[in-house]
Structure formats: structure tokens, C-alpha cells
Chain A
Amino acid sequence: MSIMTYAEALRASMREELKRDENVYLIGEDIGAYGGCYGVTAGLVDEFGEDRVMDTPISELAITGAAVGSAMQGKRPVVEIMYADFLTVASDQIINQACRMRYILGKEVKVPLVVRTAYGGGGRYSFNHSQSPEANFMNAPGLTIMMPSTPADAKGLMTAAIRSDNPVLLFEQKYLYKTLKGEVPDGEHIVPIGKGDIKRPGSDVTVVATGWMVHKALEAAGNLEKEGISVEVIDPRTLKPLDEEMILKSVAKTGRLVTMHEASLTGGFGAEVCAIVAEKAFDCLKKPVKRIAAPDLIIPFSPNLEDMFYPGAGELEDAVRKMM
């Protein structure tokens, strides 16, 4: 085990995979000598050269398209889209192209593509540099979506993503890059796709949270424990495919479900989780489900507004108390 930041853990995975497989390459804006907008790829160009840590023009469509076309030829590109907000520009390639190639061309074609991107708040950047657009991609058949919350998961999911033969969209929480440190297994570490993680076991309420919100949920769970309320915090890690079994099993035990994410409420990932539970475990529910999310508003700039905009531990605590 080593202690690493979230960003260092992501880099450790990419570095190991670049060493292990010569088909792996990184491509994106300012990822070479500059090391990426958040320094996640810092130093890798010195070790692997410009052909494998490739700077590009500011052209998200061309970058992602080149990655798709080269993945079909057996390369394993890892694309950096600087901010998740910019995914809309590249989304035709992700939704309409990368995920359709096997359907059109058949089994012998693989699209081992990773698109990694910095999402979420905490940076004081306001909208277009702070959004969490994961739900925009939930409805794209054939796409794997990941959202690590810890350095260990960041490394394990990145490795799983690079080794997957199918397109993966990996959301990296930008506030956690440098602020979050944790233990990370040395050497090869893979988090299986579609496998969630119980970050804290509990018996009264199930909280399904993603990314940064996992930490808010853990904070709330710690506070509620003092009041005698036992909260189970589930981090699905891969949003799609989703570890339904883990969530359903937990709800069967607790009878209460709260979802929590940074993205806006309507049509969010939480809605999908609630729908699955309502469909498959309705009889287990003691109370109506609750979604905690950002409001359906544009992300503001002022720090007082931003702090109120994103869900916090207090909001979750209140919701849980009302359920008991």
C-alpha cells in the first residue's frame, strides 16, 4: 500500500498500463509537457514520449474521433477531455459512434476507448467548468460509466477502463484530485466493472452516493450514528452497468433509500436508482425514497451560492431523520 492523492492514483494506473501494453496511449489538450489542466498526466511524456502522451489541437471532436478510429485498429487510447462540461462537444463520438461500431461491424471489432474527464464542483469555476453531466450519457446503449470516489478506486477503475474492450467514460472529481489522499494498493489493482462498494455498513437507511458525495454521505453517517441511526453508504463506482444486486440487498435490509449526487435532480442518476428499487424492491420500502441532488439551476459563481448549491451532509442528515 502507498498513500496517494486521487490524481496520483489515476496517474499510477495510466503509467502502469502505458508500461504494460504498447497499444495504450494518452491523447488530449495540454497533457504532455504541461501535464494536463489538473496535472493528472504530469511527467508521463518524459517517460513515454510524445507519440504515447500526445498533445493535440483544441478539438474535442477530432481528439475523440481519432481515438475511436484508432481503437478500432487495436490501439487503446485514453482521451482527456479537460472539463466534463466540454463532453457535449465530443458527445456525438461517444454516444453515436464509439458505442455503435461493434453493432455495425461485428464482434471482431473492438473499441477499447477511455474518455476521462474532470467533473463536478468545489473549484469555484461556476457552470461550464463545474457540471456533472453523467446522466446525459446514461441513456447511451453500450457505454460504461465510472465515477471513483477514492484514490484506490480511482486507480482500480482506471485500470479496468483501459483494459475494457468497450468504450468507457470515466468521471474524475476535480475537487478530490489534490485534496483527497488515501491508501492505494501497489502494482496491479483492478476494480471490476459493475461492482459497487459498501463504504460504510449500516442497518437503518441505504444511501447510494457517487464521487464527492460519498464523502458527504460518510460525514452524515458519522453524525447520525451519534443519534443512534445506522446508515449504510453504497458507492456504485460504475454507474453503468450498475451493481443492482448490492443496492437491492441493502434496501431489503434497511427498507429506506436515499440517493445523493452533485448533478441536478431531474433525470439524474438518483432517479434511475430509485426507479430500480421501486420496480424490484417496492415491498421492502418502509418509507418513500428520497433523492438528494443539486437544484435544476445553473451552477453559480459566488462561494456562498456554490456552497448552498451542492448537496451537503446536513441535507442528507435532515432527510434521513425525517425517514426514521
Chain B
Amino acid sequence: MQREYSREKLLNVYRHMVQTRIFERECETLNKNKEILGSIHGSMGEEATSVGLAAVLREEDVLAPSYRDPGALFTKGLTTLDLVGMLFAKDCGKTKGRTRVLHVGDFSKNIYPPNPILGASQVIANGAALSFKMDKTDRVVLNIIGDGASNEGAVHEAMNFAAAKELPIVFAVENNRYAWSTPFEKNFKIHSFIERAIGYGMPGFICDGYDVIDVMDTVSDAIEHVRAGGGPALVECRTYRWSGHSGNDKNVYRPGDEIIRFRQNDPIRRLGDYMTAAGICMEEELQDIWSSVEKEIQDAITFSRTAPYPDPEEFFGMDTMMAVE
């Protein structure tokens, strides 16, 4: 269903998409220059999906993102420094050097950690939904799944469990067409995740993951169904990742000029063009967003470069039940 969004809301969405884009660009550069440790899992190209999904949640709703969702994390309230500090494994990062970005969560902001053990996030997200149902609140959970992860056994258990228990949860599949390097067609005999939704007895929705307005409209429909007590729903967002799966992926498995084709359909430019054409804002305002986000991210990088590593005493002094500050 088409909905109305305030100018302020759309500018915020635009900002979070830009924040995600520049963050990912910097991740790639820092990774290439070997300035940061571990690996990165880029989401460039998927900004409309990741941001759009989280943009329609209420503060009290739980977001349980995939590990490729900085857009959703920024939208739900994590800061640039929270994540940039984590890239450098510094004390100023959200988890103070204890984890990589693919584990970051924030309970006070109702963000459950993403999970590199694929399928684990879905069954845990169900638990938050179960407790909301037990408490008779109208809070909902938004859980984000990659198309690749959706083939884990745990996801099957989670979706059936959610349906059987009529849990208030939306499973949003970010279908970016590749499970690491393996294309969708090789991993699936279905054409759309709606077929799976039907199999589990929940309504399925589908949207253009490169059109943030369509993402917001569609996930809002799903959330409405769920919040009204109708049980879980599934939303498929058709999207596309420009980068490799991770920092050391050469990204050479895509046919022809597929990436170029999707880059021409840049989701950020699409939203900007719509907003200026519809008279919602001026081009200059969008440019200001780009430059202020750029500065914010560069400042965070500069700060993190020289910031201290975590205090070993704090880590090794931790009690065995891992109760950390």
C-alpha cells in the first residue's frame, strides 16, 4: 500500500543510505590498504533495502539484522563511530574490541546482534517475538535474512515455529542474488520467497529492494499484519550487492556487465531524483547531506586510528559469565 512519508523522514532515510554508502566505501579502502583487521562484508548497492526495512520500525520494536546491514544498524540508532571504531578493533567501537562488526548489537536500542552462524539469528529473534506475545504488547520483531542464509535448517525451524506459535515477527529476505559466489538459480528451485511463505502458512510480500519507498511501503504492510496479531509474515526484497561477499572476494563470478547494469539503478540516486523532482527538497540539501556525512565518517576514522586498544585488564578480568560493562 502506498503511504505518505514526511519530508523529515525521507531526508533521514536518504542520510542513512548515504552514511551506509560512504561507510562501505571506506571499509573497502581501509581493507585494501590493510589498515583494518579481520574482514569486511560489504552491502554497497543494498542501502535501500537495509535502511528501508528498519526505517518503519518503532523505537520499541526489535531489529535482528543480518551481518550485512549497517544501513539497518544506523537507522536503528548506532552511530558512525560505533561501527568505525569496531573496524579498527579499538576501545571506542561499540563492543570495545570484543567483537567484529558482524556481532554488533545494542540492547538499549532494541538491536539483537547479527550472526555469522547463519540461521542462528532467526531462531533467537523468534524468542523476542515470543516474549512480546506472552506480555500481550504490540511490539514486533524485524529479522533480516540473506537469500543464502535462508537455506539453513535453522531458518526452516524458525519459520515453522513462528507460524505455529503465531509470533509477531517479520522475516525480511534480502535477496541479493548471490550466496557468496553462488547465484540464486543454482541454490533454489523456487522463483520467489513467497512460495516459501505459503509453505509455512504466512503471508508473503515482495518489493523492489532498489526502491526505498517500495521497501518501506511493503514492510509496513507486513508489520501491520503482524502487529494486529495476525502472526508472522515474510517480505522478499529484490536487491543486488555490488561488492564481493567479503574483503578478500575478488568478485569475478558475475556474468557480463551485470554489476554495471545495477549500478546504473543506484538506489540512493533514485531516492534523490524522486525527492527533487517531487519538490520535497532541493538538490543542494542532498549535497549538504553527502558532505556532512563524509566529514562525520572521516572524523570517526581519524579518531579511531589513534584511539587506544581495549584495556587487557578489563578483558582478562572479566568474570566467567561474561558480564561486561
CB-based nearest B residue for A165 = B321
Judged by a CB distance under 8 angstroms, whether B264 is at the interface is: no
Which residues of chain B have C-beta atoms less than 8 A from A101's C-beta? 113
Which residues of chain A have C-beta atoms less than 8 A from B153's C-beta? 61
Q: How far is the CB of B1 from chain A (nearest CB, A)?
A: 30
A59 touches B321 (CB 8 A): no
Beyond the given pairs A61-B123, A64-B123, 6 more chain A to chain B contacts, judged by CB atoms under 8 angstroms and listed by A's residue number, are: A51-B134, A62-B160, A65-B127, A68-B127, A72-B112, A97-B120
Q: Give the interface of A toward B (CB within 8 A).
A: 25, 51, 56-57, 59, 61-75, 92-93, 96-97, 99-109, 141-142, 165-166, 241
B325 touches A65 (CB 8 A): no
Q: List 8 A-B contacts (CB under 8 A).
A: A59-B160, A61-B119, A61-B158, A65-B127, A69-B126, A92-B154, A100-B322, A107-B323
Give the distance in Å from the alpha carbon of A109 to the alpha carbon of B325 in the complex.
10
Q: Take A57-B157, A57-B164, A65-B123 as given contacts and tell me if A74 and B107 are in contact as well, using a CB distance cutoff of 8 Å.
A: no
Give the distance in Å from the alpha carbon of A102 to the alpha carbon of B99 in the complex.
12
Which residues of chain A have C-beta atoms less than 8 A from B107's C-beta? 72, 105-106, 108-109
Q: Take A61-B119, A62-B160, A65-B154 as given contacts and tell me if A103 and B127 are in contact as well, using a CB distance cutoff of 8 Å.
A: no
Which residues of chain A have C-beta atoms less than 8 A from B119's C-beta? 61
Which residues of chain A have C-beta atoms less than 8 A from B33's C-beta? none
Judged by a CB distance under 8 angstroms, whether B27 is at the interface is: no
Interface residues of B in 142-181 (CB under 8 A from A): 153-154, 157-158, 160-161, 164-165
Q: Take A57-B160, A100-B322, A103-B98 as given contacts and tell me if A69 and B134 are in contact as well, using a CB distance cutoff of 8 Å.
A: no
Q: Give the interface of B toward A (CB within 8 A).
A: 95, 98-99, 103-108, 112-113, 115, 117, 119-120, 122-132, 134, 153-154, 157-158, 160-161, 164-165, 320-325
Q: How far is the CB of B116 from chain A (nearest CB, A)?
A: 9
Which residues of chain B have C-beta atoms less than 8 A from A67's C-beta? 127
Give the distance in Å from the alpha carbon of A62 to the alpha carbon of B104 in the complex.
22
B325 touches A107 (CB 8 A): yes
Give the distance in Å from the alpha carbon of A67 to the alpha carbon of B130 in the complex.
9
Which residues of chain B have C-beta atoms less than 8 A from A70's C-beta? 127-128, 130-131, 134
Give the distance in Å from the alpha carbon of A166 to the alpha carbon of B124 in the complex.
16
Q: Take A59-B157, A70-B127, A104-B95 as given contacts and tell me if A93 and B323 are in contact as well, using a CB distance cutoff of 8 Å.
A: no
B120 touches A66 (CB 8 A): no
Q: How far is the CB of A192 from chain B (nearest CB, A)?
A: 15
Q: Take A105-B106, A107-B325 as given contacts and tell me if A66 and B127 are in contact as well, using a CB distance cutoff of 8 Å.
A: yes
A73 touches B324 (CB 8 A): no
A-B interface, 6 closest residue pairs, ranked by CB to CB distance from nearest: A69-B127, A65-B123, A62-B157, A73-B131, A62-B161, A59-B157
Give the distance in Å from the alpha carbon of A97 to the alpha carbon of B127 in the complex.
13
Give the distance in Å from the alpha carbon of A252 to the alpha carbon of B140 in the complex.
58
Give the distance in Å from the alpha carbon of A271 to the alpha carbon of B325 in the complex.
34
Give the distance in Å from the alpha carbon of A166 to the alpha carbon of B106 in the complex.
19
CB-based nearest B residue for A65 = B123
Which residues of chain A have C-beta atoms less than 8 A from B95's C-beta? 104
Which residues of chain B have C-beta atoms less than 8 A from A97's C-beta? 115, 117, 120, 124
Which residues of chain B have C-beta atoms less than 8 A from A165's C-beta? 321
Q: How far is the CB of A145 from chain B (nearest CB, A)?
A: 12
Give the distance in Å from the alpha carbon of A100 to the alpha carbon of B117 in the complex.
12
A108 touches B134 (CB 8 A): no
Give the distance in Å from the alpha carbon of A61 to the alpha carbon of B120 in the complex.
8
